[in-house]
Every structure is written in structure tokens, then in C-alpha cells.
Amino acid sequence: MSKLDEAQQRLHQAVSGLEEAARAASASLNAQDSGQDSGQDSGMVTTAELEAIKSRNAALESANMAVAQRLDGAIAQIKEILDD
């Protein structure tokens, strides 16, 4: 398998992982919006829940940045290989 094939395979796996994570996050948000996760009918969020949501959001933003940097690196490597 050539370096280009390996890079494309890794890129495909990374994109697939991102798509799966996005679907899971979307399903989780939909469940929260419908009140399934919290069990609350009022739709009110407690301070503790808000802090947990903020913490999760920060972690997801950090993971998103790391993935974006890795994808940028993979794209740069693929371009470099193609230019050679």
C-alpha cells in the first residue's frame, strides 16, 4: 500500500469517526431537548447541569480543535505527496 493510500485511509477513518461523533452528539441533544435525559418536564436546567454542559462543551471544543489540526496535517501531507 502506498503512502498516499495509507494517508487516504487514515483520513477516511478520521472523517468517519467525526461523522459518528456528530450523529451521537445530535442524538444526545435531541434526547435532552425532548426531556428524555433529564426527566424534567419544565425544561429548566439546574446550575450543576449548566456547569456540566459548559464543561462538556469545552471538552468538545478542545477535541474539535485537535481533530481539525490533525485533518489539516493529513491534508497537507496528501498534498505534499501528490506534488512529489
| Residue 37 near residue 31, CB atoms below 8 Å | yes
- pTM over 0.85, yes/no: no
| Residue 4 near residue 78, CB atoms below 8 Å | yes
Dump pLDDT digits (tens) for 6-54: 888 888 888 888 888 888 887 777 777 666 544 545 678 899 888 999 9
Cα gap 17→23, rounded to integer Å: 10
